[in-house]
Amino acid sequence: MIDPAAIISQDAKIADDVTIGPGSVIGANVEIGEGTWIGPHVVINGPTKIGKDNRIYQFASIGEDPQDKKFHGESESRLEIGDRNTIREFCTFNRGTEDGGGITSMADDNWVMAYVHVAHDCVIGNNTIFANNASLAGHVEVGDFAILGGYTLVHQFCRIGMHTITRFSTGTSKDIPPYLVAAWDPAKAKGINKEGLKRREFSSSTIESLRQAYKVIYKKNLTVVEACKQLEGMVEECPEISNMLEFIQSSERGIIR
């Protein structure tokens, strides 16, 4: 399953049924789980752990040093990728830094299109989609089921909430709360991700409640503190609103408005 033209470190741990294409380079301290397919001319450096049934296409650079001038080869620097992720051509995933806890991580069932960059210390959840050329700076968090449109740019330390979607060429230096549509640069809130929520089988009543919560945050000219007080009274009727409330209350960079 490993092409003879691949270069594999003797210190790499590779499951028996992993496929590795010609010209790929697998470095020391790399672990690759069962059923994973590595295309030709992929470079994977460690410490990196890749789970089961992933597909990594040609010319991707996975687990390279952080692009951080403060990094000086610390051993705590790691990349962890879960199961059933697709990573397309020319993607770059960097390992973590000591300042960020040492780990860059991606969970399960994510779909990452060509030329995507995931910088050091990013934390990516499950079932996300990154369209072509989306780029995350360091220390970014992306929640489950988020979709980043092509050429989306996310500033360091920002958070992207669960079930959000960004449109083409969105740029943000603020947090984007859950369930929103965001567009433009700088990013502005453009409503609730209604179609995405319908596809994930949210009920019509839940979607309507989230739309009302959106109006509280963005349409009533309230301060963030005032909006949160109103959201607190809506959580009992719609528990999903608690995700918005907790996200906003814990935001350090502030949310898009």
CATH, range 197-249: 1.20.1180.10
Q: How confident is the model at residue 75 (pLDDT cuts 50, 70, 90)?
A: confident
User: How far is Cα 45 from Cα 127, in angstroms, rounded to an integer?
Assistant: 25
In the prediction, which pLDDT does 198 show? Answer: 97
Q: What is the rounded average pLDDT of the residues 90-119?
A: 97
- Angle, CA 38 vertex, CA 33 and CA 44 arms, to 5°: 80
User: How far is Cα 69 from Cα 92, in angstroms, rounded to an integer?
Assistant: 17
Is 121 one of the annotated active-site residues of the chain? yes
User: How far is Cα 40 from Cα 126, in angstroms, rounded to an integer?
Assistant: 26
Q: How confident is the model at residue 209 (pLDDT cuts 50, 70, 90)?
A: very high
Would you say residue 74 has pLDDT above 90? no
Would you say residue 76 has pLDDT above 90? no
Does the domain at 7-139 match CATH 3.40.50.1100? Answer given as: no
Per-domain residue ranges for the chain?
7-139, 197-249
**CB-CB neighbours of 73 under 10 Å:** 6
Q: What is the rounded average pLDDT of the residues 16-31?
A: 98
Confirm whether 7-139 and 197-249 share one CATH topology.
Answer: no
Which is catalytic among the residues 63, 100, 117, 121? 121
Structure tokens at 92: 């770059």
Which is catalytic among the residues 125, 138, 143, 161? 138
Which is catalytic among the residues 27, 51, 117, 120? 120
pTM: predicted TM-score of the whole model, two decimal places: 0.96
Please tell me whether the peptide bond between 186 and the residue prior to it is cis, using omega within 30 degrees of 0: yes
